[in-house]
Amino acid sequence: MRTEYAVGVDVGGTRIAVGLVERKGRILKEAKRLTPQGGPFAVVDGIIECVQDVVSNVHPSEIAGVGIGLPAQIDFLRQSVEFCTNLPLAGVDVRSLVMSRLRHEITIDNDGHLAAFGESRFGVAKGARDFIMITIGTGVGGGMFVGGEPYRGSRGMGSEIGHMVIQMDGPPCPCGGNGHIESYLGRPALAAKGKEVASTFKGRAILEAAGGDLDAVTAEAVVKAALGGDEAATRVLMEAGVILGRALVGLVNLLNPQLIVVGGGIGESASFMVERAAEVIAEEALAGRRDVRVVQAELGNDAGVLGAAVLAFDEHDAREGLHR
């Protein structure tokens, strides 16, 4: 049976967002709450309550399933949470816990993968068969589509673009490694760079954007100052753009994608950084691959919910033998 709705769940370190989504990508009803901080069962309860809220007026037979995006490394085949730095979910059987209390099929996946799913079906990557999505926020993640299909790797844990090494013995990454993309472009790294500049005379616009408090300088304050025309803040983002571009050159040379989508809270707002990265790729990628388009994501805050709903629809249709 072809169902009309799916539920998309986007679980972040600070907030849970859930949406009842139509096949065409319209979010009909939403529920949001802060992510409970009281341990894994509190998080699971939060997910269940939000889902119950959005499906309250819909017959269960009309719902394809529930997709859940987690900021975690997921073994997609076993549907298990292997690692999770921001939430206490590693080793927790999130899928079974949720499924035991909801009458729907549940599928979990990594949030970066799901952002790529969302952009692929409803956003800027519609129709692109070979593209790379990189999400830049507190963490740096992503997803890849190869030949029209999501690339998952042997256990479904592939596409951790944020943890590619770009500098030997570079700064520590939250994952425990060193010199990874996330060590340079994640919110904490950009905030640290912003603070460094804000403590000098040149960085006064960044300091102002943080309300005059050096300790309150965030990545967002740097972006805000740059968008307001400040030179020092723009330079911080341009340097980040060079790092992003260099990292992407390797992927462009390896995979020859037609499109690169930059998303996440920072990726979608820091247009300077994305434009600089595109220039670096145009200058440094191997000849014949330089026509790759580099664009900002389109789905904004809804990317996680929409991507999770796409996963739920696709898993449902695969179970039922339906074609997209």
Positive or negative CA dihedral for 289, 291, 292, 294?
A: positive
List C-alpha distances in Å: 88 to 12, 82, 116, 242: 12, 11, 25, 34
- What minimum distance in Å lies between the beta carbon of 163 and Zn ion? 4
Q: Which is nearer to Zn ion, 141 or 304 (CB)?
A: 141
What φ, ψ does residue 288 adopt, rounded to 5°? 90, -10
Examine residue 166 and tell whether it contacts Zn ion (CB under 5 A). Answer: no
Give the chain's length: 324
- Partners of 112 in the β-ladder: none
**Residue 162, Cβ density class (10 Å: 0-12 exposed, 13-18 middle, ≥19 buried):** buried
Residues 2-61 touching Zn ion, rule: CB under 5 A, are: none
DSSP of 76-113, one letter per residue?
Answer: TTTTEEEE-SSSTTTT--HHHHHHTTSSS-EEEEEHHH
Which one of 3-11, 166-174, 187-195, 199-207 is the stretch in contact with Zn ion (CB under 5 A)? Answer: 166-174
- What minimum distance in Å lies between the beta carbon of 243 and Zn ion? 14
* Secondary structure of residue 120 in the 3-state scheme: helix
Q: Which is nearer to Zn ion, 36 or 177 (CB)?
A: 177
Residues 180-239 touching Zn ion, rule: CB under 5 A, are: 180
Examine residue 173 and tell whether it contacts Zn ion (CB under 5 A). Answer: yes
Examine residue 163 and tell whether it contacts Zn ion (CB under 5 A). Answer: yes
Interface pick for Zn ion out of 25, 158, 177, 188 (rule CB under 5 A): 177
Examine residue 175 and tell whether it contacts Zn ion (CB under 5 A). Answer: yes
- What minimum distance in Å lies between the beta carbon of 45 and Zn ion? 30
Q: Which is nearer to Zn ion, 163 or 193 (CB)?
A: 163
- What minimum distance in Å lies between the beta carbon of 143 and Zn ion? 16
Which one of 98-106, 143-151, 162-170, 298-306 is the stretch in contact with Zn ion (CB under 5 A)? Answer: 162-170
* Secondary structure of residue 33 in the 3-state scheme: strand
* Contact residues: Zn ion, CB under 5 A: 163, 173, 175, 177, 180
